[in-house]
Amino acid sequence: MSRLSKGSLTLVGAGPGDPDLLTLKGLKAIQKADVILYDALINPSLLEYNPNARKVFVGKRRGFVKKTQSEINELIVHYASKGLDVIRLKGGDPLVFGRACEELEVAKDCGIPTSIVAGIASYSGIAAQHLIPLTKRAEHESFWVVTGHTRSGKLSSDIALAAQSTATVVVLMGMRFLPDIVALFKQHKRGNHPVAVIQNGTTSAERSLVADLDTIVNQVKLHKIDNPAVLIFGQAAEDPITHYKNLVEKEVLAV
């Protein structure tokens, strides 16, 4: 690709869904953008902060692809080559399972100046919303964040390793393989090992439940919990929110 000296690319993390969880730096970046390429998981109200920018939806979800990654890369180069400031607005934090490296590499190859604005990651923002401490002194002193599937669409082999640890384990994009993931955990954990499932976390469409390895698959089917959802395995999912557990189960039953 030819090198460019015009325009710029800024990757902005939009947070887990609640528009109030956008950072001030992210807000400022959006407000000065000429073009906003935005994902499916961002809150649409964030686009209202810049009514004059051109907005292009490039979201990807299982079973639905608006733009391929190659097409998104081409759009970045296309707009930046015109001297425009391009914002790539991503859910959560752009450097956590956000394909940021691919976009940064194409921009670098073309000489496009780049920057990154960190966002509140979905795993931490959603856990905080539900009073789930990912770490707790002397009990669960680390946590894993694992993707549910690899680029090839297969179950990530890292989950089998995470299941053997004493850490809190957060699985993103894992609903498709929930029975397989639970089976891996049951090789190393008892059936009453707590599991939380939170769909559309921090948004008005949020639905959630707390169960255990023995019951989580059936509970998810019963209450029709689906993507996009975060899975949290470990004592952290239950102990700090005993008072909250019955509340969320009632909310799910009422839906």
- The string of DSSP letters for 103-124 reads HHHHHHHTT--EEEE----HHH
Rounded to the nearest integer, the mean pLDDT of the chain is 90
pLDDT band at 1 (very low <50, low <70, confident <90, very high): very low
Tell me the residue range of the domain where 73 lies: 8-117
Residue 120 has which token pair? 């509140």
pLDDT of residue 6: 76
**Same-domain check for residues 205 and 219:** yes
Percentage with pLDDT > 90 across the chain:
80
**Same-domain check for residues 142 and 226:** yes
228: preceding bond cis by omega (within 30 degrees) = yes
Q: Is 108 a catalytic residue?
A: no
Q: Which position among 25, 60, 67, 245 bears the catalytic label?
A: 60
Among the residue ranges 111-125, 144-158, 183-197, the one predicted with the least confidence is: 144-158
pLDDT band at 238 (very low <50, low <70, confident <90, very high): confident
CB of 122 closer than 8 Å to CB of 39: no
The last residue of a domain, from among 96, 117, 138: 117
Q: Is 18 a catalytic residue?
A: no
Q: Hey, which of 97-106, 127-136, 211-220 has the most confident mean pLDDT?
A: 211-220
pLDDT digits (tens, 9 = 90+) for 62-86: 555 678 999 999 999 999 999 999 9
Residue 127 pLDDT more than 90?
yes
Q: How far is CA 167 from the centre of its chain?
A: 20
**Same-domain check for residues 44 and 131:** no
How many other β-carbons are positioned within 10 Å of the β-carbon of residue 89?
28
First vs last Cα of the chain: how many Å apart?
A: 52
pLDDT of residue 136: 87
**Same-domain check for residues 75 and 137:** no
**Same-domain check for residues 131 and 91:** no
Q: What is residue 202's DSSP assignment?
A: T
pLDDT digits (tens, 9 = 90+) for 11-37: 999 999 999 999 999 999 999 999 999
**Average pLDDT score over residue span 218-235:** 95
Residue 64 has which token pair? 């639905």
pLDDT of residue 152: 80
pLDDT of residue 65: 60
Q: Which position among 18, 34, 39, 93 bears the catalytic label?
A: 39
**Average pLDDT score over residue span 216-237:** 95
CB of 84 closer than 8 Å to CB of 7: yes
Residue 156 pLDDT more than 60?
yes
Domain membership flag for residue 3? no
Selection from 234, 232, 135, 150 nearest residue 188 by Cα: 234
Q: Which residues pair with 75 in a beta bridge?
A: none
- CA gap 197, 150 in Å, rounded: 20
Distances (CA, A) of 63 to 59, 60, 176: 12, 9, 12
| CATH number of the domain where residue 195 is located | 3.30.950.10
**Average pLDDT score over residue span 209-224:** 96
Residue 250 pLDDT more than 70?
no
